Amino acid sequence: MKSVWFFINGILSWPSAADGWTDQAVTWVHRNTEDGRGEKFEYAAGALTRRLLQQERAERFTRKLLCYMNDREPWRIHLVAHSNGADIALRMLDLLPGTETRLRTLHLVAPACDASFETNGLNRHLKDYRLERVFVHWATADKAMQMAQLSRRFIGWTGFGYGDLGRQGPQNVTAEVEARVAVIPYLSWGHSEFWTDKRFEGFMASLHRLTDNRLTVYRPE
């Protein structure tokens, strides 16, 4: 069975840039995996405007993903979503039709989405096996997530605040699905450090290794 990796950026990224981390990640998959294909879902959004077209982005991403789900040959589908991209990925899961569509893994990297697995729908999607495994990668020196936590507290009622899963870690995970959720801390890393020249190769290799191996549950200290 072939594999496809989807990469979704966060805010303040430029789709026209050929050297963005999503572009590099697609190239990495093509060069370093035997049966993998790389895809990217890119968009431009500012810190204060990202919510305006968020649902439309999720709908466009869902249509792209369904091209693989509706293929005659089954694909192993893996998602890697950074920051605001995590919110798009969760919205996409709510939009998928039927109950037979499954994703193998969802890697949420410094995710700016709701921390409660009951509220963000991940308890339900894991229970229904729409999604097999979730990895939450969080950076312990993530200043952007500190701001996200403040935004949720003070302007969350407007709908323009950010979620702070990347700071709190998973909350309200049910015992039924807990064994399929992994939390992986990156000590002293910042919000976008996963994609720097210094970290990129090692982090991509780690994503691939975690996805191929049996799930190991990590708990931050």
Alpha carbons 122 and 118: distance in angstroms, whole number: 7
Predicted pLDDT at 48: 73
Would 221 be classed as within a structural domain? no
Would 7 be classed as within a structural domain? yes
Predicted pLDDT at 153: 56
Name which of 95, 10, 79 is nearest 44 in CA terms. Answer: 10
In which domain, by residue range, is 153 found?
A: 2-212
Would 12 be classed as within a structural domain? yes
Alpha carbons 208 and 29: distance in angstroms, whole number: 9
Name which of 181, 139, 128 is nearest 164 in CA terms. Answer: 139
Amino acid at the residue 10 = G
Q: Which pairs count as long-range contacts for 198-207, CB under 8 Å and 24+ apart, including other chains?
A: 200/21, 200/24, 200/28, 201/28, 204/25, 204/28, 204/32, 205/32, 207/80, 207/107
Q: Is 37 exposed, middle or buried (0-12, 13-18, 19+ CB in 10 A)?
A: middle
Predicted pLDDT at 125: 95
Sequential pLDDT tens for the chain (221 residues): 899 999 999 997 888 888 899 999 999 999 999 889 999 999 988 877 777 899 999 999 999 999 998 888 889 999 999 999 999 999 999 999 876 678 999 999 999 999 999 999 999 999 999 999 999 999 989 888 877 666 555 445 445 567 889 988 999 999 999 999 999 999 999 999 999 999 999 999 999 999 875 444 434 33
Would 91 be classed as within a structural domain? yes
The CATH code of the domain that includes 147 is 3.40.50.1820
Would 220 be classed as within a structural domain? no
Query: What DSSP state is assigned to residue 178?
Result: G
Domains in the chain, number: 1
Alpha carbons 124 and 51: distance in angstroms, whole number: 24
99: helix, strand or coil = coil
Would 194 be classed as within a structural domain? yes
Predicted pLDDT at 12: 78
Predicted pLDDT at 83: 95
Would 73 be classed as within a structural domain? yes
For residues 194 and 203, the answer to whether their CB atoms sit within 8 Å is yes
Would 218 be classed as within a structural domain? no
